[in-house]
């Protein structure tokens, strides 16, 4: 039954959110480009409501259809523009343009065309703004070949082109030049600022925004200045005024809806609100977490949102109050901690905001919480060395967390080792011990002795440092009964080997042996007496990774070297068991089985090898896992073992392999086919899920449950069709109460719908009839499309009829529809 599925690489979070400005829809949803997808968030609940996939490459532009605000245009690097019905998540049309699309603009004034930025054919690094005519032909996939060039020599960034009020002109900036093109007069004005290089940077243009009602253009510059241009109809008599607060590049600008105030943001992660375009009146919203990449305003001006460089969206009230933040996997500049799995929550733990540790839930693609490790104010300024988290380790039960933070400094690095204890009461980690300068140089690796026993005194932490030693830390009980905490950590043993730098450390599964690699040599130590037991070496090449085998393979030690060798040593015979020529970047043992995953980097592609240490032949090979370099990998235990048909993928049964690439994309391997994964989101319609839980529906649910139980009791007299909702009930539940006709009118229909119909039409007949009906309603809805939202929502349950057989007679159906028609007219009167 199960087809021989192939493993697919599936993206599961962390894709860049800042491909384009986010867009507020009219009914408080936020639409945002996220990698190859367009994501729809609810502003009220911060939840991801829908992920619209279909583009084959990065989405570069998201714009609402100016003529129908229930529709959305999106452009992508794959050269296509898609028109979406974002409420249902259905692509309506796809226009293929052909060349890469770098930005998308849709204007209310231009009837059937949109503007895109495409690379100029034949020339590298020059781009032009073209208008694309979107044909109104029938069919899903259309060609859009009618291109007309509007502006030449524009910048590729979507922030550097803006359309003026009512689409009268378009302004574009590049380097030190500003050009404004007036559509009506076909006039092109060019202005430029004289290039100045100062200490803080040059005065190149970085972004542009146009005033919504007046003829005014605001431009941001790399040196932190904002210029407001006026009177640019004249080539000579133009004027500009300067606003200066930012000390670094202005990343984005946005006017409020009335144009009375201007929002600007930059690297400082401060949102500045300039009132009346004057330099003296401004408000700030500081400490937003990371540099602001895009600012966008909702159409009613009530909300504004900022997209940050670390993949976070902040929603801000109109009075400049922080409202909400939508955050998935936070992208930090460099994941130094590696991928660690929290044994308690099974969340993925890695660097988050600077100085924080993020706990990321894989199932819900949400950040569970962010633990402040460094506990210092982070200054958003380029070129500052600030303390950051570099190493993280959890004890086996997740009771203890060890973190290392360091501040890069030329003379002597600042190092701190912190040990955190999980407090059951507050459900969070509490700082227990802080050790200043645990090593004299950078800490290269850190691990806990993983013992599943409950006693605490067996807990040992080992840190390996570049100062040529490894240190063993143990818990000491405080004898003073009046002390605040009963245990603290202190150093127990310092080991070294021939003054080589210690690079990796790792405990065997039973905790009896500690392997520490010193450059080219792996040393094995007894964890009770701290005696050196034996050494292994595979010259030439320094050891990159080491790990012990598990379960049946616990007598093996695996090591990967710089020179592209994977070696397996037998700990009993102290001899090399086998070795393979493989440039291994990542070596990751599965905590629940013997399998070890090795990711190699060969000729510009990453490949995955899964093997058991006791045999040199890999169990599974996947070449060309992805084009990017894979930085880190982690096995995450599954909640329940998955049934996997093929013997080949048996290693994925108990845990799932996740890996993080250079570009901070989190990926996993899945055996399920694409359809299986997509079913819940793409086909089902919105109404079904968002069925509100009212007391009435609860009552109804109870009633239904009783009924179904009765059905079971009665034997198989009644078909299970009855369990499905009748359309009348659905209708009743989905129509807002204030538009429903009087209860006495609805009651008989409702009662009827609950009755079990006696006539037993043949299923086929019913289905046919209903299908006809539904087609009709679809036609209806096509005509009515775009009038109000409510209608759309209301038609959808009727579409559902196709799937279900109802027990209503045809006349009853008609009656119902009449009611609906009636109350629609009633609405439209308003």
Parallel, antiparallel, or unpaired: how do β-strands 460-465 and 469-477 relate?
Answer: antiparallel
Give the other-Cβ count within 10 Å of 784's Cβ: 14
Q: Does 497 bind other proteins (CB under 8 A)?
A: yes
Which of 494, 674, 691, 712 binds other proteins (CB under 8 A)? It is 494
534 binds other proteins (CB under 8 A): no
Confirm or reject binding of residue 532 to other proteins (CB under 8 A). yes
Enumerate residues 6+ apart whose C-beta is below 8 A from 51: 34, 37, 38, 39, 40, 89, 681
Is-contact 534 521, C-beta < 8 A? no
Q: Indicate the DSSP class of residue 377.
A: P
Nearer to other proteins, 385 or 679 (CB): 385
CB 175 within 8 A of CB 218: no
Residue 287 binds other proteins, judged by CB under 8 A: yes
Omega before 441 cis (within 30°)? no
Report d(CA 378, CA 335) in Å as an integer: 17
Find the part of the chain contacting other proteins (CB under 8 A) among 6-14, 15-23, 369-377, 656-664.
369-377
317 binds other proteins (CB under 8 A): no
Q: How far is the CB of 322 from other proteins (least distance, A)?
A: 4
Which residues within the stretch 138-197 sit at the binding site for other proteins (CB under 8 A)? none
Stretch that binds other proteins, among 54-62, 215-223, 281-289, 716-724 (CB under 8 A): 281-289
Q: Closer CB to other proteins, residue 148 or residue 479?
A: 479
Sites for other proteins among residues 2-31 (CB under 8 A):
none
Select 385 or 757, whichever has its Cβ closest to other proteins: 385
495 is a site residue for other proteins (CB under 8 A): yes
Question: What are the CA-CA distances from residue 465 to residues 243, 386, 503, 517, 690 (Å)?
Answer: 50, 20, 7, 11, 54
Q: At 433, which helix (H) or strand (E)?
A: strand 428-436
Task: Report the alpha-carbon distance of residue 722 to residue 485 in Å, rounded.
Answer: 63
Q: What residues contact residue 140 under an 8 Å CB cut-off, 6+ apart?
A: 91, 92, 93, 94
CA distances from 363 to 7, 138, 229, 297, 415 (A): 19, 40, 49, 31, 34
**Binding to other proteins by residue 498, rule CB under 8 A?**
yes
Which of these ranges, 105-113, 381-389, 397-405, 796-804, lies near other proteins under the rule CB under 8 A? Answer: 381-389
For residue 741, the minimal CB distance to other proteins (Å) is 37
Q: Which residues contact 185 (CB under 8 A, 6 or more apart)?
A: none
730, two tokens: 């659905």
- 3-state SS assignment for residue 306: strand
Name the minimum Å distance from CB 591 to other proteins: 32
3-state SS assignment for residue 75: strand
353/590 with CB nearer other proteins: 353
When asked if residue 288 is in the footprint of other proteins (CB under 8 A), the reply is yes
| Residue numbers 450-489 binding other proteins by CB under 8 A | 471, 480, 482
Is position 44 an interface residue for other proteins (rule: CB under 8 A)? no
Q: Which of 99, 260, 386, 646 binds other proteins (CB under 8 A)?
A: 386
**Nearest residue (CB) to other proteins, 491 versus 700:** 491
Least separation, in Å, of the C-beta of 202 and other proteins? 21
**314 belongs to the binding site for other proteins (CB under 8 A):** yes
| Residue 289: strand, helix, or coil | coil
User: Helices (H), strands (E): how many in the chain?
Assistant: 8, 59
Which 400-439 residues touch other proteins, going by CB under 8 A?
407, 412, 436-437
Nearer to other proteins among residue 493 and residue 620 (C-beta): 493
Q: Among residues 278, 381, 709, 757, which is the contact residue for other proteins, using CB under 8 A?
A: 381
- State the number of binding residues for other proteins (CB under 8 A): 37
Choice between 270 and 790, CB closer to other proteins: 270
Query: Are the C-beta atoms of residues 769 and 777 closer than 8 Å to each other?
Result: no
Q: Which of 89, 91, 266, 289 binds other proteins (CB under 8 A)?
A: 289
Interface residues toward other proteins, by CB under 8 A: 285, 287-289, 314, 322, 325, 372, 375-377, 379, 381, 383-387, 407, 412, 436-437, 440, 471, 480, 482, 490-491, 493-498, 530-532
């Amino acid at each position: 039954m199960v087809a021989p599925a192939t493993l697919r690489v599936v993206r599961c979070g962390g894709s860049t959110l800042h491909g384009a400005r986010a867009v507020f829809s009219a009914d408080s949803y936020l639409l945002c480009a996220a990698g190859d997808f367009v994501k729809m968030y609810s502003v009220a609940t911060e939840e991801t409501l829908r992920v619209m996939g279909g583009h084959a490459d990065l989405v570069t532009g998201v714009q609402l259809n100016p003529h129908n605000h229930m529709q959305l245009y999106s452009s992508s690097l794959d050269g296509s523009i898609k028109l979406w019905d974002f409420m249902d998540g259905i692509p309506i049309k796809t226009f293929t343009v052909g060349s890469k699309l770098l930005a998308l603009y849709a204007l209310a004034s231009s009837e059937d065309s949109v503007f895109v930025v495409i690379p100029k054919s034949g020339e590298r690094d020059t781009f032009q703004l073209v208008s694309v005519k979107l044909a109104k032909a029938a069919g899903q996939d259309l060609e859009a070949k009618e291109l007309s060039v509007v502006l030449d020599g524009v910048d590729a960034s979507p922030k550097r082109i803006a359309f003026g009020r009512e689409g009268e002109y378009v302004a574009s900036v590049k380097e030190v030049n500003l050009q404004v093109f007036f559509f009506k007069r076909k006039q092109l004005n060019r202005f430029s600022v004289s290039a100045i290089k100062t200490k803080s940077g040059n005065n190149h243009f970085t972004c542009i925004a146009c005033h919504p009602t007046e003829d005014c253009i605001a431009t941001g510059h790399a040196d932190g200045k904002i210029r407001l241009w006026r009177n640019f109809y004249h080539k000579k008599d133009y004027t500009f005024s300067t606003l200066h607060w930012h000390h670094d590049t202005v990343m984005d600008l946005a006017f409020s809806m009335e144009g009375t105030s201007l929002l600007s943001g930059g690297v400082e992660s401060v949102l500045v609100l300039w009132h009346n375009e004057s330099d003296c009146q401004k408000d700030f919203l500081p400490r937003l977490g990371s540099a602001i990449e895009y600012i966008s305003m909702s159409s009613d001006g009530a909300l504004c949102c900022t997209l940050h460089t670390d993949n976070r969206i902040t929603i801000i009230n109109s009075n400049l109050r922080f409202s909400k933040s939508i955050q998935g996997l936070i992208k930090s500049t460099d994941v130094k901690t590696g991928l660690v799995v929290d044994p308690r929550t099974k969340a993925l733990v890695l660097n988050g905001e600077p100085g924080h540790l993020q706990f990321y839930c894989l199932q819900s693609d949400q950040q569970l919480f962010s633990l402040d490790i460094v506990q210092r104010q982070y200054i958003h300024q380029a070129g500052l060395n600030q303390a950051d988290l570099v190493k993280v380790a959890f004890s086996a039960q997740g009771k203890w967390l060890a973190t290392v933070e360091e501040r890069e400094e030329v003379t002597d690095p600042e190092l701190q080792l912190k040990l955190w204890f999980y407090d059951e009461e507050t459900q969070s980690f509490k700082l227990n011990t802080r050790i200043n300068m645990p090593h004299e140089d950078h800490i290269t690796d850190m691990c806990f002795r993983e013992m599943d026993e409950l006693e605490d005194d067996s807990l040992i932490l080992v840190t390996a440092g570049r100062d040529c030693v490894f240190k063993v830390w143990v818990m000491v009980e405080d004898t003073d009964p009046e002390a605040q905490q009963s245990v603290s950590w202190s150093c127990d043993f310092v080991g070294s080997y021939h003054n080589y730098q210690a690079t990796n450390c790792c405990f065997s599964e039973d905790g009896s042996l500690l392997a520490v690699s010193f450059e080219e040599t792996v040393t094995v130590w007894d964890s009770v007496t701290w005696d050196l037991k034996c050494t292994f070496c595979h010259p030439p090449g320094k050891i990159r990774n080491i790990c012990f085998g598990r379960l049946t393979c616990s007598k093996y030690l695996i090591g990967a070297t710089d020179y592209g060798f994977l070696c397996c040593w037998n700990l009993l015979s102290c001899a090399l068991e086998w070795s393979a020529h493989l440039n291994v970047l990542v070596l990751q043992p599965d905590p629940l089985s013997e399998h070890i995953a090795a990711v190699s980097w060969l000729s510009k592609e990453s490949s995955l090898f899964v093997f058991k240490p006791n045999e040199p032949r890999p169990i599974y090979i996947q070449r060309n896992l992805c084009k990017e370099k894979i930085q880190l990998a982690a096995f995450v235990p599954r909640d329940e073992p998955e049934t996997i048909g093929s013997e080949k993928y048996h290693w994925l049964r108990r845990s799932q392999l996740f890996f993080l690439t250079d570009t901070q994309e989190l990926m996993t391997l899945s055996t399920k086919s694409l359809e299986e994964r997509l079913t819940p989101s793409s086909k089902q319609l919105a109404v079904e899920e968002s069925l509100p839980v009212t007391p009435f529906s609860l009552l109804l649910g109870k009633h239904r449950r009783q009924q179904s139980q009765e059905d079971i009791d009665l034997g198989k007299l009644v078909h299970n069709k009855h369990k499905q909702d009748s359309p009348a009930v659905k209708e009743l539940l989905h129509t807002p109460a204030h538009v429903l006709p009087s209860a006495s009118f609805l009651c008989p229909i409702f009662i009827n719908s609950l009755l079990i119909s006696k006539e037993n039409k043949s299923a086929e007949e019913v289905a046919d009839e209903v299908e006809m009906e539904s087609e009709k309603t679809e036609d209806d809805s096509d005509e009515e499309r775009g009038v109000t939202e409510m209608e759309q929502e209301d038609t959808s349950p009727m579409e559902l009829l196709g799937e279900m057989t109802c027990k209503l007679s045809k006349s009853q159906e008609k009656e119902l529809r009449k009611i609906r028609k009636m109350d629609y007219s009633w609405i439209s009167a308003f």
